[in-house]
């Protein structure tokens, strides 16, 4: 097994082993075979956690036990067909696996990459997240979007104007700016500030959708707020902000968010229905609150 971002990026002869993620197994990699794994892409957290502390040639043994909340999950796909046991049996059943690291190709830290390299990886993570979401792998999609966000943070101030002139961030001194200008000029593409803000808003918006799907409305609200701040015209971000606020029973903010959707897309049926739902939920909440308060004065 080999790992590292550099393996896929710079060595055309090395191809990462493609393996679909499954919601029914813990280990997201094929068993009893060698594979090329790009560490950091979230293919399998268990495997990556082991690899982080291993050297080439070492073997690691680990045990997989079913969690109380995930008794339906098998240790791996190969065990899924054989995993027809009662709840009590699953609680005590565990599987031991051996992982051998054949070789490792070191990747680059984010501070070692040129802005153009980071931008390429941002777009790659964003695309991978969309693919995983379509396949129903919400956790995997969220991981990919989080990777994109982390790199986007480091790209702040490394953009250019539409005429090609780099944007000078006040936190960067003249010498650093000169060096970065020279290296960025050699790169294939340096994103504009508008491109940067648009992509970052889309990633935050997509991340909020994943968080909504996973029952994390508070996090979804934070992600949506970041998306709307970066791109006030992002209709999807406003709608997801409204959904998150509705789940959190922040009815005033939900109305404001869905109202913004109607401003951007007049006549939107989904926004109109959402507003009706907000009003219904708010009325139910007020009625329940009124009943509770009335008991205090009896």
- From the CB of residue 51, how many other CB atoms can be counted at a distance below 10 Å? 20
Rounded to an integer, the average pLDDT of 71-94 is 53
Beta carbons of 60 and 52 less than 8 angstroms apart: no
Calculate what percentage of the chain has a pLDDT beyond 70: 72
Rounded to an integer, the average pLDDT of 128-133 is 93
What is the band of 165 on the pLDDT scale with cuts at 50, 70, 90? low
Rounded to an integer, the average pLDDT of 79-85 is 50
pLDDT of residue 130: 96
pLDDT of residue 37: 84
179 or 207: which leads in pLDDT: 207
- Tell me the C-alpha to C-alpha distance, in Å, between residue 124 and each of 79, 114, 127, 128, 192: 32, 16, 5, 6, 18
Can you list the alpha helix ranges (DSSP code H) found in the chain? 5-10, 45-51, 77-80, 87-92, 115-134, 138-154, 174-186, 193-213, 217-230, 235-247, 251-264, 269-294
What is the band of 76 on the pLDDT scale with cuts at 50, 70, 90? low
Calculate what percentage of the chain has a pLDDT beyond 90: 47
Confirm or reject CATH 1.25.40.10 for domain 115-159+192-297, answering yes or no: yes
Single out the residue of 68, 73, 96, 91 nearest to residue 83, CA to CA. 73
Joined together, the tokens standing for residue 227 give 């998306």
Q: Give the separation between CA 202 and CA 296, rounded to whole angstroms.
A: 48
pLDDT in tens, 47-65: 888 888 899 999 999 988 7
90 or 201: which leads in pLDDT: 201
76 or 104: which leads in pLDDT: 104
pLDDT of residue 6: 36
What is the band of 2 on the pLDDT scale with cuts at 50, 70, 90? very low
Q: What is the DSSP code (8-state) at residue 104?
A: -
Q: Exposed, middle or buried, 174 (CB in 10 Å: 0-12/13-18/19+)?
A: exposed
What is the band of 166 on the pLDDT scale with cuts at 50, 70, 90? low
Beta carbons of 192 and 161 less than 8 angstroms apart: yes
pLDDT in tens, 263-285: 999 999 999 999 999 999 988 88
- Tell me the C-alpha to C-alpha distance, in Å, between residue 96 and each of 76, 93, 124: 11, 10, 34
pLDDT of residue 10: 36
* Domain boundaries defined on the chain: 115-159+192-297
Query: pTM above 0.75?
Result: no
Rounded to an integer, the average pLDDT of 131-158 is 92
pLDDT of residue 106: 81
pLDDT in tens, 24-46: 777 888 888 888 888 777 778 78
pLDDT of residue 91: 52
pLDDT of residue 298: 59
Joined together, the tokens standing for residue 51 give 């690899």
pLDDT in tens, 101-122: 998 888 778 888 899 999 999 9
What is the band of 171 on the pLDDT scale with cuts at 50, 70, 90? very low
pLDDT value at 196 more than 90: yes
């Amino acid at each position: 097994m080999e790992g590292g971002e550099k393996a896929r990026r710079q060595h055309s002869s090395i191809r990462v082993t493609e393996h679909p993620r499954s919601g029914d197994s813990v280990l997201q990699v094929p068993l009893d075979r060698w594979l090329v794994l790009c560490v950091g892409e979230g293919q399998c957290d268990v495997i990556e956690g082991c690899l982080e502390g291993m050297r080439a040639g070492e073997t690691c043994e680990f045990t997989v036990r079913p969690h109380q909340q995930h008794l339906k999950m098998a240790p791996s796909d190969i065990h899924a067909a054989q995993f027809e046991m009662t709840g009590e049996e699953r609680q005590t059943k565990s599987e031991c696996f051996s992982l051998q690291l054949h070789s490792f190709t070191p990747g680059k830290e984010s501070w070692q990459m040129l802005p153009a390299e980071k931008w390429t990886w941002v777009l790659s993570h964003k695309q991978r997240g969309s693919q995983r979401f379509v396949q129903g792998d919400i956790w995997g999609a969220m991981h990919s979007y989080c990777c994109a966000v982390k790199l986007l943070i480091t790209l702040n101030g490394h953009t250019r104007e539409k005429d090609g002139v780099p944007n000078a961030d006040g936190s960067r001194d003249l010498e650093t700016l000169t060096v970065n200008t020279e290296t960025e000029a050699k790169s294939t593409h340096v994103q504009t500030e508008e491109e940067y803000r648009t992509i970052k808003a889309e990633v935050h918006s997509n991340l909020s959708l994943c968080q909504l799907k996973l029952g994390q409305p508070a996090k979804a609200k934070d992600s949506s707020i970041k998306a709307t701040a970066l791109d006030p015209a992002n209709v999807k971000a406003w709608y997801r902000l409204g959904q998150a606020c509705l789940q959190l029973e922040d009815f005033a903010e939900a109305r404001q968010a869905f109202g913004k959707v109607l401003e951007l897309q007049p006549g939107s049926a989904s926004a109109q229905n959402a507003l009706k739902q907000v009003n219904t939920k708010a009325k139910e909440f007020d009625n329940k609150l009124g009943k509770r308060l009335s008991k205090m004065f009896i």
